Amino acid sequence: MDRKPARGHRLCGGRPAHQTPAREYLVTTKKPRKRLGELLVDAGLIDDYQLRSALSHQQQWGGRLGKNLIELGLVGERELVAFLAKHFRLPAVDFSRIQITPDVLRSISPELARKHHVVPLFFGEEDGKKFVAMAMSNPTDLQALDELEFATGRKVRPAVSSDIAIEQALAYYYENQGASPWRHDAKSSADMSYSDLIATTREYLKAARAARGQAGEATETRTRPAETPPEFAGAQRTIDMDDGGTLAGADEDDSIVVFGAAGEKKIPLQGEDTGFATDPGPISPPAAPAPSARPSAPSTDDVLRALIGLLIDKGIITREELRQRLRSN
């Protein structure tokens, strides 16, 4: 009698799919699922009001939450990638350090790369099993991992990158648009190994800590939610890579991060009616932040005044209704 494949495996041309660290983590963890915004608030990288601002911007203009947070200047690109790499114990991708060769790019179609927002980096072999390192903005996507392994015939070893960096890499490598992302001392993917990726990750995390420290000095008066974990100060902790290619000293919180536009829209603020979250009305696009530094966060009072003014301007509430609600409280 035929036996069914074990849970967490699939058959591909008669072979069981190799488990990647990310897949093992996602399949075996019993922790509750967390959305990206919740995770960032828990870590103190953003607060509830900044999350709501990014979600409103996302509802109006589309795109993934991570990209919206970066474009609004609420979190730095390196800071976000370093945090996700730390959380998933995966290496971070710096596209300036690698020149991807045509044979690697041809391992998946441009359509598949755009569908799952991924970029193949280099080929390797471990314990007699061939793998392809893959830059991903969402390493939790099990369907993407399965499709990529089927297309390449190799185990996929994910590495974390930002949506913005992947979009730029896709445009350059698959559409011949934009400037080359690599610098003069970048390695060819033909000479790249997983240990090289880990080494560049150390440098990436170091740069992210430095950027976070500079931003912290400029916003010393910024307040954080009371529940911010005291042991995490926004990537200020030292993060090293062990010999196995995973992040040492990573948090014990193994909650899954749920990425993407649809899921993120469902996060309400504590004690707040969720009607505004589903229909905030149109908003004006924010001014682009200065490239040299993150802008300081607005105060809570400023955010509340802006939100109330927006609700009144769009006819969602009236001033009289607001006065009555304040008197009743």
Q: According to the model, what pLDDT value does residue 284 have?
A: 42
Half-sphere exposure of 205 (CA within 13 A, CB side): 29
pTM for the predicted model, two decimal places: 0.57
What are the angstrom distances between the C-alpha of 205 and each of 31, 159, 164?
26, 13, 18
| pLDDT score of 216 | 55
Residues 6+ apart with CB under 8 A from 95: 119, 135, 161, 165, 168, 169, 181, 182
Identify the pLDDT of residue 273.
Answer: 37
In this prediction, residue 262 carries a pLDDT of 35
CB contact burial 274-294 (16+ within 10 A = b; e otherwise): eebbeebeebeeeeeeeeeeb
| Residue 281 in tokens | 């009305």
What is residue 271's predicted lDDT score, i.e. its pLDDT?
36
Amino acid 49 reads: Y
SS (H, E, C) 290-324: CCCCCCCCCCHHHHHHHHHHHHHHCCCCCHHHHHH
Q: In one letter, which amino acid is 181?
A: P
pLDDT for 276? 31
CB 134 within 8 A of CB 120: yes
pLDDT along the chain (329 residues), means of 10: 42 39 49 76 90 88 85 87 88 91 96 95 93 92 94 95 92 86 81 84 76 56 39 31 39 40 36 35 44 57 74 76 74
Within a 10 A sphere around the Cβ of 101, how many other Cβ atoms? 16
